[in-house]
Amino acid sequence: MGSHNKEAVRAKIKDYLYEKYGEEFVVDRIGQRRRRGDVFYQARIYPEAIIGTNKWWDDYYYASASVAKKSFGRLGGVGDSYSYVMMNKTGEEYLLPKVKDIFGDRVRLKVDSEIEIWGREDVIVKEYRKRDPSSDGTDSFIGYKESDFKKAKERVVNDPEKNRLFLDLDVYIFDRIEDDNEKEKRRKDIFEFVQYLKEEGLFEYLEMRIVFVDERVLANSYDEFEREVNSSHKVRKYIEEENTMVELPPEDLRKEMSRKLEKEIDGMSEEELLANMEGIRKDELNYDDLRKWNSQYQCLIYSIGILEEKYPTSLEQNPDVAREYEKFKDVGIGPNLEYVYIE
């Protein structure tokens, strides 16, 4: 594709995004694609406002846009997927105040949400993506590109039979659980949050991980130890309480890491710890980058609706996993067996 065509594509996408979202976007990595015989241009997009912030180079805030390629060099309409980013951002804005009210300020929230509506493709006038490209056109649930989480929630609350909201939440709490009393308090916190989600109409298709991360990851020199841990030779260790074997970094490295990082965070202010927490990118809030070695405990919450929709085989094989979370005892907190820190 010539530079002239590329710049025309870039300009068309930028104008479209500014009109739709009211802000300037970077449009790059423009290339030509083909799908079912149709040719189109596709580009990566992200807001200019995130340049220089910790959101820059964070996949969570990136999306794509496409432009149909017409005959004689003409360009067709523009479509984009940034509405999914907006849906998740507005979801975080909606939920974060309650999350902090229950769990405290040392939290990071990661939202992955999608609304589906019941109807026919040819009568849905807003943007959508079909859930099943091979559908015969009969009424079915269709993925809907809503960019406002609150509006999506209101659709579900007002008409739950024809709207459903899939909500995948990661709540990262950067605070160790020191004893059984604190563990019980955290279980009560989780139960309270689940009841809130029920009251808000957000529980029906919920998948949630609440992860308690050792606060020592917030120390300034944590990155140096992270590299050393990842490159170290792993040693097999038997966990008697769980009757299982795991592989951990050498004990002397774990002791050194625990002691030095503990000393470092003891000398840091709460403001410094929170600033380092906020500096963790959303795409680092995952198993490989953060949870594998640093999570002390975690709680997994699955609604019956999400089990039936996404994990029917697991539900069939183990029906006891289905819970309504109407009782406090339904909430369980389990240890991470690959936790590297030594108290």
SS3 content of the chain, % helix, strand, coil (to 5): 45, 30, 25
pLDDT at 34 over 90: no
* CA distance linking residue 329 with residue 75, whole number of Å: 59
Helix (H) and strand (E) counts in the chain: 10, 13
Distance of CA 109 to the CA centre of its chain: 8
The answer to whether residues 188 and 328 touch, using CB atoms and an 8 Å cutoff, is yes
| pLDDT at position 121 | 59
- pLDDT at residue 51 greater than cutoff 80: yes
Q: How confident is the model at residue 119 (pLDDT cuts 50, 70, 90)?
A: confident
Quick check: 138 pLDDT over 80?
no
What's the one-letter identity of residue 30? Answer: I
Q: For helices 251-266 and 222-231, give the axis angle rounded to 10 degrees.
A: 170
Asked if the model's pLDDT at residue 178 lies above 60, the reply is yes
At position 339, the amino acid (one-letter code) is Y
Distance CA 204, CA 166 (A): 8
Q: Which amino acid is at 174?
A: F
Residue among 313, 309, 324 nearest 141 (CA): 309
Sequence-ordered list of residues with C-beta below 8 angstroms from that of 111, at least 6 positions apart, any chain: 88, 89, 91, 92, 95, 149, 167, 168, 169
> What local confidence, expressed as pLDDT, does residue 242 receive?
83
pLDDT value, residue 71: 78
Of the pLDDT bands very low, low, confident and very high (cuts 50, 70, 90), residue 3 is low
More confidently predicted of 196 and 141? 196
The reported pLDDT for the residue numbered 140 is: 79
Does the pTM surpass 0.75? The reply is yes
Q: Is the pLDDT of residue 304 over 70?
A: yes
Q: How confident is the model at residue 341 (pLDDT cuts 50, 70, 90)?
A: very high
Q: Would you state the pLDDT for residue 123?
A: 52
pLDDT band, very low/low/confident/very high, at 73 (cuts 50, 70, 90): confident
Provide the pLDDT for residue 60: 97
pLDDT at residue 176 in the model: 95
The predicted structure's pLDDT at residue 38? 81
Contact yes or no for 107/97 (Cβ under 8 A): no
